[in-house]
Homo-oligomer: A and B are copies of this chain.
Amino acid sequence: MADRVSMPERLRAEGKRVTRERELLLEIIDANPHLDASEIYDRARGVNPRIGLATVYRTLRLLETMDVIDSNDLGEDHSHYEMRQDDHVHLVCSECGAVLDVAAPFDPRAFGRRRGFEIRQTRLELVGVCDDCRAKSRGEHRPDLGSGPGAGPRP
């Protein structure tokens, strides 16, 4: 759960307004991590059919600049969004699209600082194949093909 309480205050502090659309979109993102813009749009229309796609994108950008949400590149041609949280690694399955959040095994701020960088944003993605999908593909494919370099499945 995010401190949704502070959002209205922070908006007003910058002369911005608290609208139904912004509240709705934030709720959706908070309840469903890793959705993309289109998925967020679909869910939003389920509640408010009059909402426009432009509003979704505008709001995503606003929330990102307010450091309320983060956008992730999960290896597709569009971004996914989640509430901002402590540094963590995304384990992304390239088969089924599952995304697992795991605490980062190192401190990105300290790591960057040592190299003279003041880290503002972290993007840690490990893309691979999860247990389930590996098991499935073992069952569907002939087991005599081995797994030479670069021979990975590409759906």
User: How far does the alpha carbon of A108 sit from the alpha carbon of B100 in the complex, in Å?
Assistant: 14
Assess the A127–B120 pair: CB atoms within 8 A.
yes
Q: Do B152 and A120 have beta carbons less than 8 Å apart? A: yes
Report how many residues on chain A are interfacial, defined by Cβ distance under 8 Å.
38
- CB A65 to nearest CB in B, in angstroms, measures 7
Chain B CB within 10 Å — which of A122, A128, A129, A130 has the most? A128
Report whether A119 and B126 are in contact in the complex, using a CB–CB cutoff of 8 Å: yes
Q: Which of A123-150 contact B (CB under 8 A)?
A: 123-131, 134, 149-150
Distance of A10 Cα from B108 Cα, bound (Å): 38
Q: A39 an interface residue at 8 Å Cβ cutoff?
A: no
B contact residues around A66 at 8 Å (CB):
150
